Amino acid sequence: MAGGALSGGAPPATLLSATIPATGDFPMATHALPMFPAKAFALTEHRNLRITTLFLLYFAQGLPFGFIEFAMLAWLAQNGVSAAAIGSVLATLALPWTFKLAYGFVMDRYAFLHMGRRRPWIIIGQLGLVAAFAAMAIADPSPTQIGLIASLAFFIGLSSATQDVAVDGLAVDILPEDEIEKANGYMFGGQALGMAAGGGVGGFLIAYYGLAAAAATLASLVAAILILVIALRERPGERLLPWTTGQASQRNLDIHLGAFMPIIRNLFREMFTRQTLILMPALIAVCGATGIFLGLAPLFSANILDWEKSTYSGWASTASLVAGLAAMILFGHAASWLGARRSFILCAIATAAIALAMLALQSAWSSAAVFIGSIFAFKAMFVLRGVTGGALAMRLCAPAVAATQFAVFMAIANLGRAMGSASLGWLDGLGGIPAMFTAMAVCGVVAAAFATAAKVGR
């Protein structure tokens, strides 16, 4: 989330020794580990290490979305798949994200604290991604096998959502408050860069080597990041793996609730504050615009511009790359200076304005430059929405249930995205692509209105 130069935020650490006993559910050896300082590779102790790790984890989260939303959907559209079928793939990808509340409850209730509060769940999510992409590579479905493709998209979405909840919980746990806006810039910048890589590399590989080769490549990329996660600790002295030496930190032991009812009571109280109730419709609306455009864009490229399957994925990936760099260099810092709420409102208004501009330029839709410009503009707004919306949600989270509460906010946002994607078939029948742009404009105006009324931050 936040970034900066490499800093040794703590003095040189002492060495783990036989005086630190193994504890927990697994019998452990207690021999000394002279080559591993207690604070080496601990995220809480090194600012640059934790920021780089959060960046890479969000990069891993962006890979499957870029692959499916840009590369695979362009491949489907180029092969004559209907708008309703494309919308169903998008909806099944996004659907598991609407259950992030349940994932948050489970993660807050069940934690193997000796490996950290969140890292075991991150490992599980990434293992799921590797398995899902490996299954796609083996099955190698054709464009007509929408049911199989949607099923694989669902499991990819489920694994991504599991990782996302755990990573967000990790960020809430280890980031100081004064890093929140800037930190979100790096996190969502990483996600955008991951989407660029997933869309660009995936689109190229599908076009020239087939779906199986593309899926196998993504499985390998996620596996590489998984190795990094296994090699790190959240806090000094924790175990790397269940069978290695280490112990839970006292801080994690102190805050772990360990029961569902305290989590539910605290969450219920925090989610029914005035600010939260007003912010939720804003998140749903602005993310609904995202869901609409993600289905609209491949249809526009294939049906109006008659682009090849790799052309749209290439431009979309480039736009993600630019937006990701902007998030890291500009958006996070700007939101910190201007205020997350003001930045969110400007983002929602800009989304509506861009959609209305596309309607006004309908006579020029045959020009590729107009559509390419809209890809870059919308992608920048979607990333800025992630940076500012995430910062607003973090500021509303109560420490006792922060991970679960943040999961609720993100689930609400992704519900809006799923609703937008699921509406593509209806909007197509209502008026086609012009109706889709109109709906995006309405979403932007609604989001800006609710965010203005929500008094969260500046």
Q: Are 88 and 150 in contact (CB under 8 A)?
A: yes
Cα 157 from chain centre: 10
Residue 458's pLDDT is 67
Lowest pLDDT segment from 14-18, 46-50, 145-149, 230-234? 14-18
Q: Cα-atom radius of gyration of the chain, to the nearest Å?
A: 22
Phi-psi region of 344 (alpha: psi -120 to 50; beta: other; left: phi over 0): alpha
The CATH number of domain 35-239+248-453, selected from 1.20.1250.20, 3.40.50.300, 1.20.58.1000, 3.40.1190.10? 1.20.1250.20
More confident residue, 357 or 27: 357
Q: How far apart are CA 421 and CA 116, in angstroms?
A: 36
| Distant-in-sequence, close-in-space partners of 399: CB < 8 Å, separation ≥ 6 | 255
140-149, 170-179, 319-328 — most confident range: 140-149
State mean pLDDT over 360-371.
Answer: 91
State mean pLDDT over 138-151.
Answer: 91
33-47, 49-63, 247-261 — most confident range: 49-63
Residue 23's pLDDT is 40
Q: What torsion do the CA atoms of 124, 129, 131, 132 make, to the nearest 10 degrees?
A: 140
Collapse the DSSP code of 428 into the 3-class scheme (helix H, G, I; strand E, B; otherwise coil) and give the result: helix
Tens digit of pLDDT for each residue in 75-87? 888 888 888 888 8
Q: Are 434 and 359 in contact (CB under 8 A)?
A: yes
Model confidence at 179: pLDDT above 80: no
Residue 101's pLDDT is 79
Locate the domains of the chain by residue range: 35-239+248-453
Token output for 58: 């969000």
Model confidence at 110: pLDDT above 90: no
Average pLDDT value for the chain: 83
pLDDT-derived band at 10, boundaries 50, 70, 90:
very low
Residue 399's pLDDT is 65
State mean pLDDT over 180-186.
Answer: 80
Nearest to 286 by CA among 452, 403, 163, 458: 452
Residue 19's pLDDT is 38
Model confidence at 189: pLDDT above 50: yes
Tens digit of pLDDT for each residue in 264-322? 888 888 888 888 898 899 999 999 999 999 888 888 888 888 887 678 878 887 887 88
- pLDDT above 90 covers a percentage of the chain that reads 29
Tens digit of pLDDT for each residue in 387-418? 888 888 888 887 667 778 888 887 788 789 88
Nearest to 384 by CA among 346, 331, 333: 331
The strand pairing partners of 33, in sequence order, are: 16
Tens digit of pLDDT for each residue in 335-354? 777 878 888 999 999 999 99
Can you tell me which residue has the tokens 């420490």?
Answer: 399
Q: How far apart are CA 375 and CA 271, in angstroms?
A: 35
Token output for 51: 């920021």
Residue 457's pLDDT is 64
Lowest pLDDT segment from 31-35, 89-93, 266-270? 31-35
Residue 6's pLDDT is 33
Q: How far apart are CA 377 and CA 54, in angstroms?
A: 26
Token output for 407: 């999961």
Token output for 2: 């936040």
